[in-house]
Structure 1
């Protein structure tokens, strides 16, 4: 039976044990300074970073990093900011202790200490679940405005489940409305039996804030087998591709479901649609995870499997031509694919568990460049411009590469994370900003246009014991989700990030973006 769709607030006591078990984090210096790297990236980008926003972030960096590295007590709502505070007799008499930043895998949680959420680090943060864990999702572009930042916010997304039984899996289309920036925490929406409740740090405000409770509405399509990866076509968000554990890639049209959710009176529904996909391709022979739609050429899709084979889908009216000559070269599984977003729309990048990055000329099916970029599996890549690409691997390292000069090595790197990188993505609104998720249960945001200001950090240290040795470009760290899998910046909601994990989804906007 399909589990009910609810917002949640389960207070489990797992974080401290999980974090203590992690390896020590060892931040390293970048190959070049943040200022030099920022200048290099900005020269190569066609986008410009607003100077006033850059100055604001730079002035607030130290305090927000300090807050952002605190870990939330474990509401599963993922909240990244916690301070560590001893329950001493002086504290019980009303004294205000100095907050200390708690670093996962580095700092123990001693008896008598507790983790506290720092709400000022976020403009908004909410968590929700869609029944079974969804380890891949995508943002659905809408027609509510190209760039929005005023609360309350509305977003649409699609996700694929990881159910215990193949027949219980679903392709989900969800709408989340009334996302307020005034109340942070986890809200409970109406469940299938009509019950509703709410949970916040101030329960006395529940009744008067009930009209500001986020509302979650979903529609579901039966999908045989767990969904390894799901992606929406940027130009037609209702066209969705799924990679199934059964070894097939399918394309779906969810236009009718989106119309129901957009009607304004969709209401809650647990009905499961049994809808046939537009197209099914079983030519991969084995399952895979790599999947990407072209941003420059509408309808072009690439899929890669665990045998190292890549197929390109060419649109032909409402069908796709696929299964011809494949892109073959990787000696192990293809982990991620990225189409060139700008000047060369038929250029494709692939990364593999063989540790290499390959660039392909799609019309000729030839590999134009190959380079060993990690000493471990390369899990994810993100193409920011025609020549700058970010990569993350099983070694926990994030690299930035200039594709025109691969032989010169990375232009930046960090091993801040202590576990494999599971997702990485450039901001669509700020060309110098990158976000990544890791199996160490941290989501990090990096800004290469700012660098540490000793005077600002000295002022912050008077009230917060910030750790030493943080990477200069580290802007924000979000924590609290267990086994983080994927993140996406919302292309229409400025500074808003959505992330998914084994425990839940989070929607949040850091206060310093």
Structure 2
């Protein structure tokens, strides 16, 4: 079963033992305005704890598959291209990091009946004295708020497990044929799998299947290829079905091409241009022969498979290892990257040759960036996760407007002492997970993100993301 999550997200400070609405344990003390708690900046005083503000989310739930999963992917499904009405259903694939190599598996899972509700960012109801109040507050119980939704019951997890030799460093599903997945093993092998039978079984079943009751199935991969070392970098082409690239810790990148016989030819001669481990790969969303790579050598390289085995262009992108990259599929000139020093950058690829492609470098996070991904619905929106246990969402189209801020605070009667030093592009901060590893936007459910960490998965829909959509899914 999927449990609803109550963790410190859009956090409030609260004294232990204090009654609801009180700022301290003393009944005679005056009420003090809440303070926004900044991770990595503020410290909790003795007797204080953080509490989640559930109204910061349209939906918030959590689940786990038993062993932690370093990597996962959201599968494209046939339930609708743009879905806005609750409850939601999602399909995912994930690979475990088990204590022993023989205990690992790939989990193909379905989460259904994901409840939630649209939250109004600006009050739209008026009290008897003429003051405005939040539109959700009058018709929802505290339980509804805490559970992340209203009246739709508990989400259901259905899981099927396939044995995987060794830990799964990264796993990716083909967009055009989501039942085909590629996994990177810590044994140094990349394998391609056909999970169509498991997805068909999940689609036909509505039975709750807990992780303990799900047997591990032995299944052979369609193709298995051995690199010279283990790796993490892998990506399917969004333009050519079946075209794949994989990169390893020995700086080698191999190209996979599909054949007419439902298998793959792997080019034994690697692409070589980096001087250290290849950490991430991304195909261009606009050019079928072009891909980008990033490396521990602090560089980002752009490759064209028609031009040989060396990069067409290479730049120093960060002052530390470049861990992850994301190519914007709505604005193909934009590439985002995250490094080991906690900084992430956005670049205009049209300016690479001129050496002035950096549109902005952000140092909000102070620990390594572990995942980065542009929104599939808003070209200016980017999600970032870090080892500081924060998932942040940024909108680079935003500019600070003091008059608009003052008007918003007046409408909401905001009593929070908000920090003045936060970047104005920072839209949302999600907390509560330990050792965050990877995040993905759902391409068919606007505003939904899923993240994986040492303590499991979170499914979240922040209330201020995709707020321009029609509010017909409440």
Whether 1:167 and 2:107 are equivalent positions in the alignment is: no
Flag the structure with higher helix content. 1
Shift of 1:361: 0.9
What is residue 469 of structure 2 aligned with on the other side?
A: none
Residues 119 and 95 (structure 1), Cα distance of their counterparts in 2 relative to 1, 3 Å cut: farther
| Superposition map of 1:361-510 within 5 A | 361-363=304-306, 364-384=308-328, 385-406=331-352, 407-458=355-406, 460=409, 462-510=414-462
Q: SS at 2:55's partner residue?
A: helix
Asked if the contact 1:78/1:506 (under 8 Å) is kept, the reply is no
1:303 pairs with 223, 241, 246, which one?
A: 246
Whether 1:289 and 2:232 are equivalent positions in the alignment is: yes
Residues 338 and 329 (structure 1), Cα distance of their counterparts in 2 relative to 1, 3 Å cut: same
Alignment length (residue pairs):
424
Unaligned runs of 5+ in 2: 120-140, 466-474
Q: SS at 2:45's partner residue?
A: coil
Give, in whole Å, the separation in 2 of the partners of 1:94 and 1:397: 42
Asked if the contact 2:334/2:348 (under 8 Å) is kept, the reply is yes
Residues 78 and 278 (structure 1), Cα distance of their counterparts in 2 relative to 1, 3 Å cut: farther
What is residue 82 of structure 1 aligned with on the other side?
A: 11
Q: SS at 1:310's partner residue?
A: strand
Shift of 1:211: 6.0
Give, in whole Å, the separation in 2 of the partners of 1:183 and 1:161: 33
Asked if the contact 2:295/2:322 (under 8 Å) is kept, the reply is yes
2:188 pairs with 221, 224, 247, which one?
A: 247
Give, in whole Å, the separation in 1 of the partners of 2:244 and 2:7: 33
| Superposition map of 1:247-266 within 5 A | 247-266=188-207
Shift of 1:328: 0.6
Asked if the contact 1:307/1:334 (under 8 Å) is kept, the reply is yes
Which has the larger displacement, 379-388 or 423-432?
379-388
CA-atom RMSD in angstroms: 2.4
Listed one character per residue, the Cα deviations across residues 188-231 of structure 1 (whole Å, up to 9, x for unaligned) are xxxxxxxxxxxx9749x99xx89611000000100110000000
Q: Under a length normalisation based on structure 1, what TM-score does the superposition of the two structures give?
A: 0.78
Residues 246 and 90 (structure 1), Cα distance of their counterparts in 2 relative to 1, 3 Å cut: closer
Shift of 1:366: 3.2
Listed one character per residue, the Cα deviations across residues 456-511 of structure 1 (whole Å, up to 9, x for unaligned) are 43453851010111111111111110111000000000110000011110001010
What is residue 218 of structure 1 aligned with on the other side?
A: 159
Unaligned runs of 5+ in 1: 1-5, 10-74, 185-199
Residues 356 and 168 (structure 1), Cα distance of their counterparts in 2 relative to 1, 3 Å cut: same
Asked if the contact 2:73/2:173 (under 8 Å) is kept, the reply is yes
Whether 1:121 and 2:73 are equivalent positions in the alignment is: no
Asked if the contact 2:303/2:312 (under 8 Å) is kept, the reply is yes
Listed one character per residue, the Cα deviations across residues 291-334 of structure 1 (whole Å, up to 9, x for unaligned) are 10000111000000000000010010211110332101111000
| Superposition map of 1:99-138 within 5 A | 99-138=34-73
Listed one character per residue, the Cα deviations across residues 214-253 of structure 1 (whole Å, up to 9, x for unaligned) are 0000001001100000000000000000000000000000
Give, in whole Å, the separation in 1 of the partners of 2:442 and 2:454: 21
Give, in whole Å, the separation in 2 of the partners of 1:276 and 1:359: 34
Shift of 1:93: 5.8
Shift of 1:448: 1.4
Asked if the contact 2:7/2:52 (under 8 Å) is kept, the reply is no
Residues 411 and 272 (structure 1), Cα distance of their counterparts in 2 relative to 1, 3 Å cut: same
Residues 104 and 314 (structure 1), Cα distance of their counterparts in 2 relative to 1, 3 Å cut: same
Give, in whole Å, the separation in 1 of the partners of 2:14 and 2:7: 19
Asked if the contact 1:231/1:240 (under 8 Å) is kept, the reply is yes
Asked if the contact 2:346/2:358 (under 8 Å) is kept, the reply is yes
| Superposition map of 1:323-334 within 5 A | 323-334=267-278
| Superposition map of 1:317-356 within 5 A | 317=260, 318-342=262-286, 344-356=287-299
Give, in whole Å, the separation in 2 of the partners of 1:340 and 1:272: 36
Shift of 1:8: 5.1
Asked if the contact 1:78/1:478 (under 8 Å) is kept, the reply is no
Shift of 1:455: 3.1
What is residue 122 of structure 2 aligned with on the other side?
A: none
Residues 92 and 136 (structure 1), Cα distance of their counterparts in 2 relative to 1, 3 Å cut: farther
What is residue 77 of structure 2 aligned with on the other side?
A: 142
Shift of 1:112: 3.1
Shift of 1:115: 1.4
Asked if the contact 1:91/1:97 (under 8 Å) is kept, the reply is no
What is residue 13 of structure 1 aligned with on the other side?
A: none
What is residue 233 of structure 1 aligned with on the other side?
A: 174
Shift of 1:79: 4.8
Give, in whole Å, the separation in 2 of the partners of 1:126 and 1:166: 29
